[in-house]
Structure 1
């Protein structure tokens, strides 16, 4: 039996099963309709999620790479068969950069490095997003925040301009023969931006802070592969002289050095973190304003909230001699037109935003850049939403399936995204490796990947057959249609779509709004400014929301572990 078929059987059992992971089981008898068919008990619409959590935990312990890959395929099938995650297209990264600016580089994970750029008059003005939500590297979970962390902080390792991992704060590392112990030797003379010594003890403090529940870090699960001591802290240690840092893993981890280059693992200054006003209630209170202590090439000198940020070189950065810029100015704005106009008039030399209406005009200019990334733009349903109240888990999944069938993804790519993105049919993006040197999204003797040829998660071309199938799924979930194929007033569907207020994301929401309206589904597009959007989405204050995920490292587990019940990035509220 192909693994896809097996996984579908497992996922079907999971979706229709008990709900221990979302509110507990009920002793009440199940309600029935007059014809004897089962109807839903209140609170039973979300998929049971314990099996998924257990599978992810087992993947992280599995050392047989062939078996591990098969388990990851199974996990993705479980995820996709809930229909809560609705992939739209696979990312590529587009931006505008003046031809007189050099030295900006990025990698497959959406990280942009500005610290070693060169620009006229040694000053660079740019835009990557609006007001950042978090600047504490342990608390940030947004790409723009990661780019700012790369500017202000340093980790044990980093990515260079070729995308290769190279030592950063570490001078070197050694790995034990069994792959379970890493020992890092720190560079000599490291300092924080205030001149205080920075050493391995800062790294140990920061890594344990990352996993401390009191910190509330969305990315704490990234440390699951590190062994634990009896007291529950990580099995890590700094030498007495602060020169070496040792990490013991629970199982060999091929991407461990990638984690060492990921901002969540960057050291932060303990004294400043813990002495900041309000730290008891907000672990990130120490960096809510400019002037906080850093370790990277730049420090934040001025922050006019919702307007601008100004960075200047950190003289105590260990590689300060390679920094030529004297100032970096960030424009904080979600107004795509204003940002683009600022780029056109020379006020900005780099813009991460291109208005939809301008894309066709800039794609062939020397200022336009398009680079590959590993990520998926998608939308997602809150499985705990009142939208699914009174439905069984299978009926709720069928509803989400119906919504997915109605979305014309090719239209979104062709008329809104406009950068030759590939329409997505599953969550894990094209180009991601499988842990064995091959691409994960590939058919082999053990697995047939869902695609247009073998009954994928949806037909990527919107046809009347898709619409008719959507009607049938909704009818099975209790909805009625009139003779014209529109939802009956007896059984309306009213849904909200939550998105941040940038033009492209709003237009994608409006495109789906039109698709749903073809059968009478009423969707309201609600916009929020960036920080508010992130907080509401994380808290599950939505029915349906704009989502996007750029991988943190090149392994499928990164796209799968985020959906564990405990994950701070589990926006769809699985298991809660």
Structure 2
């Protein structure tokens, strides 16, 4: 899930990540949905990997023959192979073979060097000592609904104006935090980061793990008092998968079997009491999907009856007063300034909610947010500016918890800066710029929250799906830089050698250097860095700007208001942009399938 504050988070404005969420008491090596542990010999793992490789190659040839996908730039990598490999991962039932395929996918992704990992997320925030029972998980979700606070009112800040409140259309962590406050799913996470039933009373899983049947709780209602049934879940899941909805996360539904007309094989019983789902293959993280906001039910009558629905599927919840199902309802919204949520009396577990009201300050002004916390106007803030980080770390209100995610920057593979280059030359250009970055400086002087510098896209602590950690060298897989456990050595000790390698790579791509090791005026590199507003975001851009300037690359920083930034980045209107991803569940596929050609989260424009 996209992080709103690239450097805000980096600069301490890190929004928690629950995959993009995380339990405050959960370590990064724990999975909120524990995968089955299997013991495989090295020989078995190798054989499994070899058996899947052949089928992946066959699928790749078929995809290439179809001619459906193709990059618009001659310098962009062909992407049919990657798309086919993701399909293989989704279908693979041998867990060792599945892990091998996921390593292959990350290898291919990183071989493009379009991803510039900077550090692995953790989550920092400030919480008043008279506030209790706020919890977070590995995926960045913050749970405020069951908090206690003086006067049963909580005032807080998590971000600026949200981009979208429709759970199916949201793709940001701050939006997810608002979604779990106003809506409910079949499942949710408890204060220990464990999956527990929410709207569902129970679930039955078939012996082959391909069919799930959920029984709904009795007496469920929408906030307007109308019944909430399994039919609402069926409608909402079909809506998520429908291309007309335009959901960035529609690809998450690809684990569900489809009918000939493309609709999902999901069905609500006539009495609205049960909901049955047919999968394409056993999916170890399926119940995590049931706790993910994109799969939350939404009210069909409100959605389709809203003014502007024909042009904007999310028009129904662009103002306060929309119908919801969770612990709170949005009753006030002054755009770009504040939001008010009040207790929902029709929530099935309303007796467990003690807060009567939650007020949100909508701001990415770190100074204003910090001052509001210090003077008592806010009791919780999810943004800590760079200038205040050292002070914050010495206060009892400061919290620093683990999160599954990676803060990174990324290149548009179709950018004009790669015009005239071969695929390999373009990749070498991007690799050179990756090697120029002093990640330790970013962590020490901007982020300042003890983050680990990154040299992979899949973060430390991510499960491998069968009892181990994905980012590790073992008998079945070794990273290209074995000692650094990644794709390059990001340590300060390797910096000088990395800079020299960067020059060599650029020379191979046709660039010339003068006697001082600076790019020749005859072969310049000029590019822009797109980011959203906020001092932390700009600070990260400036650090990259300085690193590139070491060999004469000219980087211009362009800032945009949050929603404008999201749209420009999504549409590929950039050379180089700030990025961040908090996992949506504890499985590497989540951070790999986002790069398929048709994914709504494919910001780097692979295959397009």
The two structures have a TM-score, normalised by structure 2, of: 0.88
Aligned residues: 553
- Secondary structure (helix, strand or coil) at the match of 1:140 reads coil
Residues 76-475 of structure 1 mapped to structure 2, 5 A cutoff? 76-451=106-481, 453=483, 456-462=486-492, 463-475=495-507
Structure 1 gaps of 5+ residues are 26-41
Larger relative contact order (C-alpha < 8 A, sep ≥ 6)? 2
Contact map agreement 1:193 1:317 (CA 8 A) in 2: yes
In 1, Cα distance between equivalents of 2:559 and 2:372: 24
Other-structure match for 1:35: none
- Secondary structure (helix, strand or coil) at the match of 1:245 reads strand
In 1, Cα distance between equivalents of 2:511 and 2:365: 40
Contact map agreement 1:180 1:249 (CA 8 A) in 2: yes
In 1, Cα distance between equivalents of 2:481 and 2:497: 17
In 1, Cα distance between equivalents of 2:560 and 2:145: 30
1:329-354 per-position Cα deviation (integer Å, ceiling 9, x unaligned): 11001111110111111111000000
Contact map agreement 1:22 1:46 (CA 8 A) in 2: no
In 2, Cα distance between equivalents of 1:568 and 1:260: 19
Other-structure match for 1:549: 581
1:48-107 per-position Cα deviation (integer Å, ceiling 9, x unaligned): 000000000011000011100000000000000100001000000000000000011010
In 1, Cα distance between equivalents of 2:67 and 2:408: 24
1:110-129 per-position Cα deviation (integer Å, ceiling 9, x unaligned): 01111111111111010001
User: What's the offset of the Cα at 1:449?
Assistant: 2.8
1:192-230 per-position Cα deviation (integer Å, ceiling 9, x unaligned): 000110000000000000000000000001011111112
**Deviates further, 492-501 or 87-96:** 492-501
In 2, Cα distance between equivalents of 1:437 and 1:197: 41
- Secondary structure (helix, strand or coil) at the match of 1:546 reads strand
User: What's the offset of the Cα at 1:456?
Assistant: 4.3
Inter-CA distance 290–402: structure 2 relative to 1 (3 Å threshold): same
Runs of 4+ that moved beyond 6 A = 18-23
The answer as to 2:560 corresponding to 1:538 is no
User: What's the offset of the Cα at 1:23?
Assistant: 7.5
Other-structure match for 1:39: none
In 1, Cα distance between equivalents of 2:353 and 2:67: 51
Contact map agreement 1:88 1:423 (CA 8 A) in 2: yes
1:205-260 per-position Cα deviation (integer Å, ceiling 9, x unaligned): 00000000000000001011111112211101000000000001110011110000
Other-structure match for 1:34: none
Other-structure match for 1:66: 96
Contact map agreement 2:161 2:363 (CA 8 A) in 1: yes
Other-structure match for 1:29: none
Other-structure match for 2:519: 487
1:386-416 per-position Cα deviation (integer Å, ceiling 9, x unaligned): 1111111100000000000000001100111
Q: Note the aligned Cα RMSD (angstroms).
A: 2.1
Inter-CA distance 19–47: structure 2 relative to 1 (3 Å threshold): farther
The answer as to 2:540 corresponding to 1:508 is yes
Contact map agreement 2:70 2:607 (CA 8 A) in 1: no
Contact map agreement 1:22 1:48 (CA 8 A) in 2: no
- Secondary structure (helix, strand or coil) at the match of 2:244 reads coil
Inter-CA distance 23–200: structure 2 relative to 1 (3 Å threshold): closer
Contact map agreement 2:479 2:485 (CA 8 A) in 1: no
User: What's the offset of the Cα at 1:326?
Assistant: 1.2
User: What's the offset of the Cα at 1:21?
Assistant: 7.2
